[in-house]
Every structure is written in C-alpha cells, then in structure tokens.
Amino acid sequence: MKIVDTFKKIFFPIEEPVHDFSLPAVDANISSIPDISEVKDIFTSIDVNIEYIKVKYNLLINSDIILREFLLTAKNKQYRAFLLFIDGMTDMNLVNDYVLKPLMLKNAANSFESNQVISEAVTNNITVRKVKKFNIKEHIFNSLLPQNNVKMQKEFKEIFSSVNSGNCMLFVDTLDIAFDIDVKGFKTRSINKPENEVVLRGPQEAFVENLRTNTSLIRRIINNENLIMENIRVGKVSKTNCTVCYMKNITNDDLIAEVKYRLNNIDIDYLVSSGQLEQLLEDNTKYSLPQIISTERPDKTATYLLEGRVAIIVNGSPYALIVPAVFIDFLESSEDKNIKFQFANLLKIIRIASFLITLLLPGIYVAITSFHFEFIPTELLFAIVASRASVPFSIIFEIIIMELSFELIREAGLRVPSPIGPTIGIIGALIIGQAAVDAGIVSPILIIIVAITGITSFAIPDYYLAFHCRIWRFAYIVFGYLARTSWHCICIFCPPSYSS
C-alpha cells in the first residue's frame, strides 16, 4: 500500500480544498453610482476635479501619476491649485523651475497690489486709458507661465490625452479650464544611420520613434511654408497620433481628402506601428503585392512629398508610409537620386532582372527539367541527368525541400542573437549544402539554382516586394511542375527513374 500511495503522490495531483471567491449579492435598494465616463467638461470645484482624476487614473495603485497640490499666488492672493503629470514623461527641471516657482513664489508678476491692468496710449496729444478688470485666468496665462507652448483645455478627453503624451496640466480652483503646459522630457532614441536602406552617397539619417523628431527631419529638408503636417488620432484606446504630411500647392486635394477620410474612419482599438496602419489603409489586403511605400529615410520621404504624394508618420514607429505607389517605386533606391542617370538605369535593370529571377527561376527549372527538355543544350542535359542519378526524390520534392531549408536559415539568422548569426550561415552552407550533396539527397545543380534565387532576392530594395516574391516563388514551382502528364503529377515522391 505504501508503494501505491507513493505512486499516487508522484503522478496524481493533490486535491485542494475548494474556495469560494464569489462576491456577495448587491442590495437592489442601493442606488447605483453614476458612470464617470459620461463626464466631459472639467468642474469649477477643485475638490471634485481631484476626486474625479484620482478615480480615472487609479492613483491608489498607480505609482507614476503625480498629483501635486499647492497654493498659487496671484496679486497677493492665494488660490488652491494642483498639477497633474506622469513621472518619467516630463522634464522635472522644467516643472520645478518654470511652472511651480513662478506660481508659488512671490515675484514682480504676482505681488503688486493693483487689481486692475491699465494701459495708456497717446493720440493727438490726448491720453487714452484702457482699464481692464483683473481676470485670474488671463493673468496666469499671460504673466505667470513662462512657457512657449501653453493651451487652455475644457474637456477631460483632451486633458487626459495631453497628460498621457507627456504634458503637465494645471488646475486652479473656481476655473472651468485647465492649462496645458508642454514640458515633455521622456527619453528617446538618438538619430542613427539607416539600417535597412543603406546608401553610399546621400544623407545618413533615419527616422526614430519620436513623432516630432521625425517631422523636424522632414522640415529641415523641405524649407517651405507650404509643407502641411496635420495630426489625426487613430485608435479608441491607444489614441495614437498620426501625422499627415503633404505640400499644399503641389499635392492633389482629392488625394489629401482620401487619406484623411481613411484615417478618420479606421475603427480599431489600438494602433502601435506603421505596419499595422499600412494594412488598414490598403485597398485590398488579400494581395501580397505591396501597395504603400514604407521607408525609414527622411530624404526619400521629402522627395516623394515634393513629387505631390502624401506621407503618413505614426508616433512610435521609425517608418513613414508614402501613398500612392506604383510598381516601379518598389524597385527604386535612394541611391538613384545621387548618381548619374546611366548608373541609375543600369541598377534598375539589374533589380528588374533580380525580381524576375527570384520569382520565376525555380519554377522554370522545374518545368524545363521535367517536361521541356528541348530547351536545354545536350551537354547541359547530360550533366543534369548525371547529377541527379543518385538522388532518390523527384525534382518537385527536392526543390521544395531546399527552398524551405533556405527560408529556415534566413528566418533563423534574423531571430538568433547577433553573435550567433554568422554560425547559422556556416551551418547552412556546410551541413545543408555540401553534406546534402555528398549524401545524395539533392543534386549540385539544384544547390546553384537555390543560391542564385536567394542572392537575387536580396537585390530587391523593398522588403515587402521581396517577401511577395518569396511567397509566389513556391506557387510558380507548383505551376511549373503541373505542366506534365497526369501520371507524372501523381508520382511526386517517386524516384527520377519513374517520374522523369
């Protein structure tokens, strides 16, 4: 019995007592609490505003939300006030030196006794005096906040959006508005060289994750007042800022209206990247062929803007989306603008040839070696037959195995840590390449076909167009194999002696 008990303890779970975590029923006589989401405008009572913000931001458990209460001094009078900001997203030096100090300490702006603001003007030897009653709202806005970007907000929706983006909000008792003070100070990545769109001659700057840094990079290139940048928020929960950039005097108005319409009518909870937005803006997501240009280069974006196109920049993403796009745009590089047209045309021809080779070469090889032998020179045909004499698989199975192996090596090289990355290439070249040939699993001519296909895929500038070729390459392989008799189509896994 001891052995049975020990066996049960090891291999069977121990029954735990059942705990009842259900909440007690709520008394129907208790009046329900009103929904706080229905509140839109701020309250004139500072205590009500404090309690409402504490509930909305869960201040009892949120550790990075700062609500700083203090007494505001204005005209030798004191008013209750508080600041609301997020620790880590604001510059604390700006908050202390240019917000709290002018508001709390006595100075020339808030200590004199006059309750009126008087201005004098002399016209035709006649002195005209304008007497204006003291207004605490205008006094704070004009005299007590030495910030270059201060706005007045009345709705909690705008207030929470500003706080979440790194601003500081000032609430004053008896006022039905709040002061939106720009004191952003969160850490961002510095501007570096482009990683995926490298050029030899041209600017060596790339977009970063900060929206305003990206717009400033474009402004530095296009020094023109007709460059318009409009902000549109996308996402019900995330409320991600997206900037629509275009040249007012160049871009078609219908194109601008279409882009704004699509952005404003995106029904989504959250948006975190430009790649996610790209799929939402496309005409038809069923096609793998790219329809929108994605670039990390500000100079390339500025060039397209000057050509009359529209750029969309998403906050938090280092890529800009360019619309509309034609097929040749995906085969162009930023290098083409910096070299002579003869060199640029040669590179375009090479890229077009690379596109055709990486898309069609494996399928053409399968079709010719399986059915159309007359296209192959006799000497080459004998070499192919001799190299495949010891291979136990048919051509279709052989080339699919090699293509999948190449895709696995490519994906593994991207996912592994950087120090191990070169090891993946060595393993793929030695083990999967040479060892597979020596073992008689694949033929040497097929290794050459797969290698050429892989090299030409890297010559395509646009990542999504190269991905499109990788997907449809397998389809063309199957199409090439289907150009055979029905008996050959059945014998996929037969040896070459029966299927060729």
Q: What string of DSSP letters covers 97-113?
A: IIIIHHHHS--TTT---
Q: What is the mean pLDDT of each run of 10 residues along the chain (500 residues)?
A: 71 61 50 55 92 91 92 86 93 90 75 53 57 79 87 92 92 93 86 87 90 93 93 91 94 94 93 92 86 94 95 94 93 88 92 94 88 79 79 83 83 73 63 72 84 89 90 90 56 43
Query: What's the token pair of residue 86?
Result: 């997020």
- What pLDDT is attached to residue 199? 86
> Residue 112: what pLDDT?
55
Nearest 10 degrees: CA dihedral of 459, 464, 468, 470?
A: 50
Residue with tokens 């597979």: 436
Distance CA 84, CA 97 (A): 16
Pair of tokens at residue 338:
């910096």
The 77-86 sheet, strands edge to edge: 65-74, 77-86, 168-172, 178-181, 150-153
Look at residue 92 and give its three-state secondary structure.
helix
Residue-level pLDDT at 35: 53
| Pairing between β-strand 150-153 and β-strand 168-172 as defined by DSSP bridges | unpaired
What was the pLDDT predicted at 271? 92
Q: Are 91 and 185 in contact (CB under 8 A)?
A: yes
pLDDT at 487 (0 to 100): 40
**End-to-end CA gap in the chain:** 67
The SS3 assignment for 187 reads coil
Per DSSP, 141 falls in state: I
Q: How far apart are CA 81 and CA 143, in angstroms?
A: 16
Q: Please tell me the distance from the alpha carbon of residue 152 to that of residue 159, in angstroms, as a whole number.
A: 9
Token duo for residue 457: 């895929």
* β-pair partners for 181: 150, 168
CA atoms within 13 A on the CB side of 321: 26
Centre a 10 Å sphere on the Cβ of residue 28 and count the other Cβ atoms it contains.
6
Measured CA to CA, the distance from residue 59 to residue 163 in angstroms comes to: 14
Helical (H) or strand (E) element with 67: strand 65-74
What is the signed CA dihedral for 137, 138, 143, 147, rounded to 10 degrees? 80
| Pairing status of strand 293-295 against strand 320-323 | antiparallel
Helix (H) or strand (E) holding 220: helix 211-221
Angle at CA of residue 73, ends 68 and 79, nearest 5°: 65
Comparing C-alpha atoms, which of 322, 295, 310, 305 is closest to residue 255?
310
The residues, ordered by sequence, that sit 6+ positions from 340 with a Cβ below 8 Å of its Cβ are: none
Rg (CA), the chain: 34
CB count within 10 Å of CB 20 equals 4
Please give the pLDDT value at position 198: 86
Contact 446, 359 (CB under 8 A): no
